[in-house]
Amino acid sequence: MLSEQVSAENTRRQSLWDSLIAAGGPNGSAPSLLRELGIYGGAQGIWVDKRITGGISPDGTGIAVGLLHTGSAYDDDLFEDGVIYHFPVTKRLGRRDASETAALRNLFELRLPVFVITPTSDGTRRDVHLGWVVDIDDTAMQCLIEFDDHWRAPASVSATSEFRLEANREERAQIEQRLKRSPRFAFEVGKRCGWRCAVCAVTLKPLLDAAHIRGVADRGSDDPRNGLILCKNHHAAFDVGFLNFHPETGTVVVHANITTDELGVTVFVLDHGLRPHIDALRWRWESLSRPQVRVTNVRF
């Protein structure tokens, strides 16, 4: 019986999407239209139409219908083809945060689409994306939503999966089209490594990046083992060759004219469980001129 209700709710949401397009959307839609259709119900970040979805959800909390992403807190988590959406952490009374988080989890468990809503530049209208929660990172309290008309099962990557350092033809075509890093790559690297800079103590997520070891410009793949979490300063240092890692030992490497103190490095050997795939580290090591660097695990 529940599966029939879930199927009916999926059909209802797809119908809402079709109605939004027929009304001139999904971009530049009037907020009143979204309320009229039932895609969004107010100013809250997560819109849960409990009247319709409460009985469908296994725990009775309902299922998220619309998500507002303003970009005010995490402006770089919105991508062309998805968004990393953070669980609500507010000072509201009661169990509002827990209920809304449960509504996000129900989206994931039941494989139902959700409407992701972003304000236009002038703030008067809304752009709408149809998306699916494809993964959840409980430690970072966030979920990965990919924009698509239909559910696509995420390709799981484990430590024992075959590692591809170089992107294939289809991935390269996608890389050439996108302006920013893939949300899936950022999400999966963060889930694998934890959201803390690999070489310093920075843990504030807005200051952290998922950095490719073999970069996008060098046709590097989006396999999460081709990535590492770095703060924005150390990401920049890594990109220009000031910072590297010895592939065999994970020891921090700095350019010969720079010290670890100058770079603000406080972790001198990568934690073994967080290290990128050795093929990625070897590629990076060999791509730099080794006579110009020195290995160090001490402060100068």
- Comparing CA positions, the residue from 161, 188, 192 lying closest to residue 82 is 188
Query: What are the structural domain ranges in the chain?
Result: 2-147, 187-295
Query: End-to-end distance of the chain based on CA atoms, in angstroms?
Result: 67
Q: Residue 215 in contact with residue 226, Cβ under 8 Å?
A: no
CA–CA separation, 203 and 92 (whole Å): 25
What number of CA atoms fall less than 13 Å from residue 16's CA on the CB side? 23
For the entire predicted model, the pTM comes to: 0.75
Q: Which residues of the chain, if any, have pLDDT below 50?
A: 178-179, 290-300
3-state secondary structure of 147: strand
DSSP classification of residue 273: G
| 2-147 maps to CATH 1.10.3470 | no
What pLDDT score does 292 carry?
44
What pLDDT score does 142 carry?
92
Please name the amino acid found at residue 284.
Answer: R
What pLDDT score does 293 carry?
47
What number of CA atoms fall less than 13 Å from residue 201's CA on the CB side? 1
CA–CA separation, 55 and 275 (whole Å): 45
What pLDDT score does 156 carry?
58
Sheet containing 126-137, strands listed edge to edge, beginning at the edge strand earlier in sequence: 46-48, 64-68, 114-119, 126-137, 142-147, 82-86, 78-79
Q: What is the pLDDT of residues 203-232, one digit of tens each?
A: 998 899 999 999 888 889 899 999 999 999
What pLDDT score does 26 carry?
96
